[in-house]
A and B are shown apart, each in its own frame.
Chain A
C-alpha cells in the first residue's frame, strides 16, 4: 500500500489524471459516434510522426542540460536538408534520405555552436535555449527569402524568388515512410509500418548510444556532475555531445514529421515546435533531469492520443470545440508541473 503511494507520488497525480482522461476518451469515443479504429489509426501515425522530435530531448535531459527548448535549432537543420534535397531535384527514397544526409552536417554544426553557448550559461539554460531557438527561426526566415532557391515548386510563383510558406512534398517524398509496407485493416485502420519501424530504429539507436561509454558518461554528468568530474569525465564535453545529438535527432525528427504531414512549413512555423515535444516527454514521466525511452514512447502516445481524441470526443459531448483550450492547459500545465517539482537531487 505504502509502495503504491510512493509510486503514485513519484509518477505524479497530474500524469495519472491525464492517463485516465485518455482512457475515458477512448471509452467515450464509441458512445458519441467516433470510430475507435479510425482514431487509433490517427494516433499511431501521429505517434510515429512526432516521436523522433520527442526522442531528441532525451540526451540533453540526461546530460543535465535541461529540457531542450532550443529544439528549433535542429529543426532548422532539417528544413535546410529538406529544401536543399528538393532543390537538387531528388525525390522518393533518394529525396528523403538525401534530405536526412544533407541535414546532418548542418545539425552537427548548429548543435556544436549552440552547445558551446549553453556551456557558458549553466543554470539558466532553458530560458536561453528558448530564445536561441526563436532567434534562429527568425534569422532563417530571412534566409528563406534570400537564399537562391530556384525550384519552381518551392518559390513564390509571382516573384520567382523566396521560398513559399508551405511547400508540398507531393511528387517528392510525401508519406514515404507512412506508406512503406503499410497494412490496411478494414476501412478505417491503417498501420503505418515503415513510419513506426523508422521510429523504432531511431529509438534503438538512442538506446544504444546511451549504453555506450559516452552515453554512460553523459548520464553520469546529468546525475551528478561532480562525480563525473572526479571520474575524469569533462562535463562540458559531454553536454556538448548531448546538445549535438539532440540537434541531429531534431533535424531527422522534423523530416520524418514532414514526410508524414506532406508539407514543409517554413518561416514562423518551427517557432513553438519544442513545446509539444517537451510536454509529451514530461507527460511520459520524465523529469527535468531524467528521461528514458519508456518516457518517450508513453508520453508521445498519450499526448498524441489527447490531441487526436479531444477534438472529436469533446466536441461531440459539449457541442463546442474546447480542444484548443484543453491542449494548451494540459501541455503547459505539464511543463509547469515538471519545472516546479522539487528536483529530487539526492544529496
Chain B
C-alpha cells in the first residue's frame, strides 16, 4: 500500500504523534519508572520473556473481531472460562503434562464454540455498542460459570477427584492446583540462552498463531471480515453474509481465548477457579491498545509491542512506587489506573478521530468553490 499524499515532515511528525499518543504516553511513564525500579536488566528481561509466553496468545484473540468492526471483544472472557473448564477436567482426570493441556483444549473447544456462537448472536443484536455489551456478557456468563462449576460439578457433572471438590461434596474449590500440567508447555522445549530461559514451545505456538492470522487475512473469510469491518451496508449489498461472518469472528476469537487462557494458566501453575478470567479481557484490551491498536484497526506488531510495553510497566512500576513513595501498593494502583486510563483514552481518541476524519472528508464540499464540481486534480486523474 502506498501513501499517495506526501505530507510535509512537520505535519507528518505531528500526525505520527497523534496516531501513537497512547504508545508515547506509556513509553514515557515506563521510561521514568525503569531506572527508579532499581531492577536489574536481566531480571526485567527474564520476566518479560516469561510474560510474553504467558500473555501474547490471549491478546492475539482480539485481532479478528477488531478486523470485523466489532471493536474489542471483551466477551473473550467466555473463551477463558471454557479453557478453565477444560483444565478442571484435565486435572480431575489426572491427565498430566502436555497431554493434559491438549485434553483441556479438546474439552474446551466445543464449549468455546458454543459460547462464542451465543456471544455472536447477542452482539449482532447490539450493533454499535458491541464493546459494552460484550463486557456485561462476560459478567453474565461469570454467573453461569459459577453456577456450573460451584453447583453442578460434582452434583450433576461427574467429578471424581475429591482433592478438587469442596468438602460438601460438590463444587470445585476456590483454588485449583495445576501441578500436573504446570509449565508443561514452557518446559517442553526450553532454551537456555545465557542467563535467560526461553520457553520455545510456547513461542512456537504463538508464532504458529501469528502465521495463522496472516494466512487467515488472505482467505475469503478474512477478506469478508475486513469488508464488513469497514462498511456493513455495502458488504451486505455485495452479498456477504454479514451476521454470520460477525458470529464467526467472535467464535474464532473465543476459541483462541480458550487456548490462550490454558497457556496462561499452565504458566501460572495454579488457577483461581472463580476469578482467573475476570481480568483477562481487561489485560488483553489494555495490551493491544497500548501497542497502538485502535478499536478499528489492529495488527500483529500492535500485539507484540503492546504485550511488551504493558508488562514492562507491570514489572517496573510497583518497585518504582515503593522506592519513590515508600509503598509498592501505590505502584500497583498506579499501573492499574494507567491501564484503565489507556483503554478509556484509546477509545476516546478513536471516536474523536473518526469524527474528525468524517469532517475532513467533506471539506471538499465546503466553501463557495468556484468552477466545476470537483477539485482540479480529479480531472487530471481520469484522463
CB distance from B181 to the nearest CB of A (A): 28
Query: Please, how many angstroms separate the alpha-carbon atoms of A340 and B139 in the complex?
Result: 15
Given contacts A124-B351, A328-B143, A329-B147, contact A142 B337 (CB under 8 A): yes
* A to B contact number (C-beta, < 8 Å): 116
Determine whether the beta carbon of A127 is less than 8 Å from that of B129: yes
Q: Verify if A320 is at the interface (C-beta below 8 Å from B).
A: yes
Query: Please, how many angstroms separate the alpha-carbon atoms of A237 and B148 in the complex?
Result: 48
**Please, how many residues of chain B have a CB less than 8 angstroms from a CB on the other chain?**
39
Kindly identify, within residues 151 to 170 of chain A, every residue whose CB is under 8 Å from any CB belonging to chain B: 162
Given contacts A117-B348, A139-B337, contact A127 B132 (CB under 8 A): yes
Query: Please, how many angstroms separate the alpha-carbon atoms of A329 and B145 in the complex?
Result: 10
Kindly identify, within residues 82 to 131 of chain B, every residue whose CB is under 8 Å from any CB belonging to chain A: 122, 125-126, 128-129, 131
Determine whether the beta carbon of B347 is less than 8 Å from that of A121: yes
Given contacts A138-B337, A141-B333, contact A131 B146 (CB under 8 A): no
CB distance from A172 to the nearest CB of B (A): 26
By a CB distance below 8 angstroms, the chain A residues around B325 are: 145-146
Determine whether the beta carbon of A339 is less than 8 Å from that of B333: no
Q: Verify if A335 is at the interface (C-beta below 8 Å from B).
A: yes
Query: Please, how many angstroms separate the alpha-carbon atoms of A346 and B333 in the complex?
Result: 45
Cβ 8 A contact of B348, one of A128, A326, A335, A336: A128
Determine whether the beta carbon of A329 is less than 8 Å from that of B125: no
Query: Please, how many angstroms separate the alpha-carbon atoms of A134 and B139 in the complex?
Result: 16
By a CB distance below 8 angstroms, the chain A residues around B352 are: 120-121
Question: Which residue in chain A gives the minimum CB-CB distance to B125?
Answer: A340
Question: Which residue in chain A gives the minimum CB-CB distance to B74?
Answer: A127
Determine whether the beta carbon of B132 is less than 8 Å from that of A126: yes
CB distance from B75 to the nearest CB of A (A): 11
Query: Please, how many angstroms separate the alpha-carbon atoms of A320 and B351 in the complex?
Result: 47
Kindly name the residue among B71, B131, B132, B336 whose own CB sees the greatest number of chain A CB atoms within 10 A.
Answer: B132
Determine whether the beta carbon of B132 is less than 8 Å from that of A328: no
Q: Verify if B58 is at the interface (C-beta below 8 Å from A).
A: no
Contact with A along B297-337 (1 / 0, CB 8 A): 00000000000000000000000000001010110011011
By a CB distance below 8 angstroms, the chain A residues around B340 are: 131, 134-135, 138
Determine whether the beta carbon of A322 is less than 8 Å from that of B151: yes
Given contacts A322-B151, A325-B143, contact A131 B347 (CB under 8 A): yes
Determine whether the beta carbon of B143 is less than 8 Å from that of A124: no
Query: Please, how many angstroms separate the alpha-carbon atoms of A267 and B333 in the complex?
Result: 9
Q: Verify if A123 is at the interface (C-beta below 8 Å from B).
A: yes
CB distance from B270 to the nearest CB of A (A): 23
By a CB distance below 8 angstroms, the chain B residues around A123 are: 128, 351
By a CB distance below 8 angstroms, the chain A residues around B64 are: none
Query: Please, how many angstroms separate the alpha-carbon atoms of A322 and B144 in the complex?
Result: 11
By a CB distance below 8 angstroms, the chain B residues around A124 are: 71, 129, 131-132, 295, 347, 351
By a CB distance below 8 angstroms, the chain B residues around A332 are: 136-137, 139-140, 142-143
By a CB distance below 8 angstroms, the chain B residues around A301 are: none
Q: Verify if B26 is at the interface (C-beta below 8 Å from A).
A: no
By a CB distance below 8 angstroms, the chain A residues around B146 are: 324-325, 328
Q: Verify if A122 is at the interface (C-beta below 8 Å from B).
A: yes
Query: Please, how many angstroms separate the alpha-carbon atoms of A332 and B340 in the complex?
Result: 21
Contact with B along A322-347 (1 / 0, CB 8 A): 10111011001101100111100000
Determine whether the beta carbon of A325 is less than 8 Å from that of B132: no
Query: Please, how many angstroms separate the alpha-carbon atoms of A326 and B144 in the complex?
Result: 9
Q: Verify if B267 is at the interface (C-beta below 8 Å from A).
A: no
Q: Verify if A132 is at the interface (C-beta below 8 Å from B).
A: yes
Q: Verify if B256 is at the interface (C-beta below 8 Å from A).
A: no
Determine whether the beta carbon of A130 is less than 8 Å from that of B348: no
By a CB distance below 8 angstroms, the chain B residues around A322 are: 147, 151
CB distance from B363 to the nearest CB of A (A): 20
Determine whether the beta carbon of B336 is less than 8 Å from that of A69: no
Determine whether the beta carbon of B132 is less than 8 Å from that of A69: yes
Query: Please, how many angstroms separate the alpha-carbon atoms of A138 and B128 in the complex?
Result: 28
Query: Please, how many angstroms separate the alpha-carbon atoms of A225 and B258 in the complex?
Result: 42
Determine whether the beta carbon of A121 is less than 8 Å from that of B132: no
Query: Please, how many angstroms separate the alpha-carbon atoms of A130 and B336 in the complex?
Result: 14
Question: Which residue in chain B gives the minimum CB-CB distance to A67?
Answer: B132
Contact with B along A241-271 (1 / 0, CB 8 A): 0000000000000000000000000010000
CB distance from A46 to the nearest CB of B (A): 21
By a CB distance below 8 angstroms, the chain A residues around B247 are: none
By a CB distance below 8 angstroms, the chain A residues around B129 are: 124, 126-127, 339
Determine whether the beta carbon of B347 is less than 8 Å from that of A141: no
13 further A-B pairs in the complex, CB-CB below 8 A; given A141-B333, A325-B146: A120-B351, A122-B351, A123-B351, A124-B129, A127-B135, A135-B340, A138-B340, A139-B333, A145-B329, A320-B151, A326-B143, A328-B140, A336-B133
Provide a sorted-by-A list of 7 A–B residue pairs whose CB atoms are within 8 angstroms: A124-B295, A127-B131, A145-B329, A145-B330, A325-B147, A325-B150, A340-B126
Which residues of B pack against A, CB within 8 Å?
71, 122, 125-126, 128-129, 131-133, 135-137, 139-140, 142-144, 146-147, 150-151, 295, 325, 327, 329-330, 333-334, 336-337, 340-341, 343-344, 347-348, 351-352, 355
Which residues of A pack against B, CB within 8 Å?
69, 117, 120-124, 126-128, 130-132, 134-135, 138-139, 141-142, 145-146, 162, 267, 275, 320, 322, 324-326, 328-329, 332-333, 335-336, 339-342
